[in-house]
Each structure stands twice: as C-alpha cells, then as structure tokens.
C-alpha cells in the first residue's frame, strides 16, 4: 500500500522542512505533491525524488489545491496534510497499511493533547469534529474523492468531503501543530465570510441539516475563527 501525500503551502511554518524530511523517509509514501501557493516565499528545503513541486502563479487557496493534488496523484491511497503539523509517519502509515480502513479518516481533537510520540497504536473513533482540526491530516481513496466546488476557497472543504466520502471517522494519535498558522491572518477573514455564505446557501447537502455534528456549525466556526484572527 503506497500513498500520495498532498500538501498546500505558503511556506510559513518553520517545521515544514522537518515534515517533508519525515515523509521522504517513509517507505509507504510514494510521492509528495507540494502545491506551492507562494513561490516567492519558498523556504530552503531539499527536494528529494519523491517530491513533485506544483508551483502556482498565485495563491489558489486550500480547497482548489486539494482538488489539484488529488487530480495529479498517481496512487489510489491519498493523504492530505497541513504544512504546519508533525506526526509519527512510521506509526500512522503502518497502522493504515495493517487495517486498510474505508471512508475518510481525519484526526480526533484529543490527538493535539498528547505530548509524546510514544502513545501506542492509533485509536479509531467514529466521532467527526469538523472545524476542530479534523482535516489537518486525513486519509481516503482517490476514487472516493468528490472534488470540492472551486468557489469554496479555504473553508468547508472538509465538511464537503466528510459528507461525500462517508463513512467519516477519526484517529487519536499524537499530532503537533500551532493550529492554522497559515490562515490566522486578517486577509482570510473576508474569504471566511464568502465561503460560509456559499456553503450555507448553495453547497451544503440537505442531509447535513439533519446531522447533530454540523448543526449551527457555520455560525459558531465563523465567530471562533474571527476571534482568532482578531487576537493574532
């Protein structure tokens, strides 16, 4: 079982070179597709043979970058990853190789409270906490990927995929991050409002209105992210 790893980046996290090094050394990772949304800010990193560099003339934002990465991926197994996280690649990809789970699998919020890599085997959970960093790292099959509407630039792509890639679930495993380092800036506030309006009025599947885990979510997330932007 080989994986294509897709990472959009603005080259802001200082831990990104370490993440790339870990992924390049992981035998279950066949290729790493970097969607470069800020080529003029590119950090000094060593590009090994697994890295495919997809330079963009301008920032196409996260959701279109996910779509592009999946389209270009050569493997059926897809991992989509934030550029501001670190995780135990050997442990997690080994677990997925052994269990071969179906659907779309993200990260449980308890994962960010674990302080050491030595936490044992990842723990599966049926809980899906959209907008609590569930999609900072997620896994699915390319054939199950339903492209996110191009009009949604940054937010709600994870909710779209969770719905269309069912069953959705989570893993509890140590993940270290500073949380949305690339988007915690005032320039993204307008994009949030735009995406949320489109999601609520055009793209939210009707069935989502019946799901408790997404009830009134857009309003709560908008307020939470705006508070983070104002306090950053």
Q: What six digits make up the tokens of 131?
A: 């907008």
User: First-to-last CA distance in the chain?
Assistant: 41
Angle value at C-alpha 58, between 54 and 64, nearest 5 degrees? 65
Predicted model pTM: 0.86
Whether 147 contacts 201, CB under 8 Å: no
Domains identified in the chain, total number: 1
Q: What six digits make up the tokens of 43?
A: 């950090």
Nearest by Cα to 129 from 227, 5, 225, 217: 217
In a domain, 68, yes or no: yes
β strands within 43-154, DSSP E: 51-55, 77-81, 85-87, 104-107, 123-125, 137-141
Whether 146 contacts 160, CB under 8 Å: yes
What CA–CA distance (Å, rounded) separates 232 from 21? 29
In tens, the pLDDT along 24-80 reads: 999 999 999 999 999 777 666 778 899 999 999 999 999 999 999 999 999 999 999
Nearest by Cα to 83 from 30, 7, 163, 155: 7
Q: How long a stretch of residues is the chain? A: 232
Report pLDDT for 231.
Answer: 58
- Name the stretches of the chain with pLDDT < 70: 42-44, 119, 179-187, 206-232
Report pLDDT for 166.
Answer: 78
Report pLDDT for 115.
Answer: 81
Report pLDDT for 41.
Answer: 76
In a domain, 186, yes or no: no
In a domain, 23, yes or no: yes
- Residues spanned by the domain of 152: 3-177
Give me the residues paired with residue 104 across strands.
168
What CA–CA distance (Å, rounded) separates 133 from 144? 21
In a domain, 229, yes or no: no
Report pLDDT for 213.
Answer: 43
DSSP letters along 3-34, please?
EEEEEEE-S--TTHHHHHHHHHT-TTEEEEEE
In a domain, 143, yes or no: yes
DSSP conformation class of 209 = G
Report pLDDT for 40.
Answer: 79
In a domain, 35, yes or no: yes
Whether 184 contacts 82, CB under 8 Å: no
Report pLDDT for 34.
Answer: 97
Report pLDDT for 204.
Answer: 85
What CA–CA distance (Å, rounded) separates 31 from 179? 25
In a domain, 81, yes or no: yes
Q: Which residue has the tokens 């199950």?
A: 144
Whether 29 contacts 50, CB under 8 Å: yes
For residue 224, the surrounding DSSP H or E stretch is helix 217-231
In a domain, 221, yes or no: no
Report pLDDT for 183.
Answer: 61
201 contact partners, CB below 8 Å, separation of at least 6? none
Q: Say which CATH number the domain at 123 has.
A: 3.90.550.10
């Amino acid at each position: 079982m080989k994986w294509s790893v897709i990472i959009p980046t603005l080259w802001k996290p200082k831990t990104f070179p370490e993440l790339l090094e870990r992924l390049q050394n992981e035998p279950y990772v066949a290729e790493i597709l970097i969607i470069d949304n800020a080529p003029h800010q590119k950090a000094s990193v060593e590009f090994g043979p697994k890295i495919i560099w997809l330079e963009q003339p301008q920032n196409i934002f996260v959701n279109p970058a996910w779509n592009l990465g999946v389209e270009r991926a050569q493997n059926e197994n897809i991992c989509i990853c934030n550029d501001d996280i670190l995780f135990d690649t050997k442990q997690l990809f080994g677990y997925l190789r052994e269990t071969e789970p179906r659907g779309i699998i993200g990260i449980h919020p308890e994962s960010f409270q674990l302080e050491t890599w030595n936490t044992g085997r990842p723990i599966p959970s049926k809980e899906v906490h959209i907008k609590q960093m569930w999609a900072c790292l997620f896994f699915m099959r390319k054939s199950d990927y339903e492209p996110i509407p191009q009009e949604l630039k940054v937010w709600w792509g994870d909710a779209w995929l969770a719905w269309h890639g069912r069953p959705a679930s989570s893993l509890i495993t140590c993940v270290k991050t500073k949380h949305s380092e690339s988007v915690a800036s005032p320039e993204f506030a307008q994009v949030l409002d735009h995406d949320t309006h489109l999601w609520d009025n055009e793209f939210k599947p009707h069935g989502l209105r019946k799901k408790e885990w997404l009830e009134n979510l857009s309003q709560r997330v908008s307020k939470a992210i705006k508070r983070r932007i104002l306090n950053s």
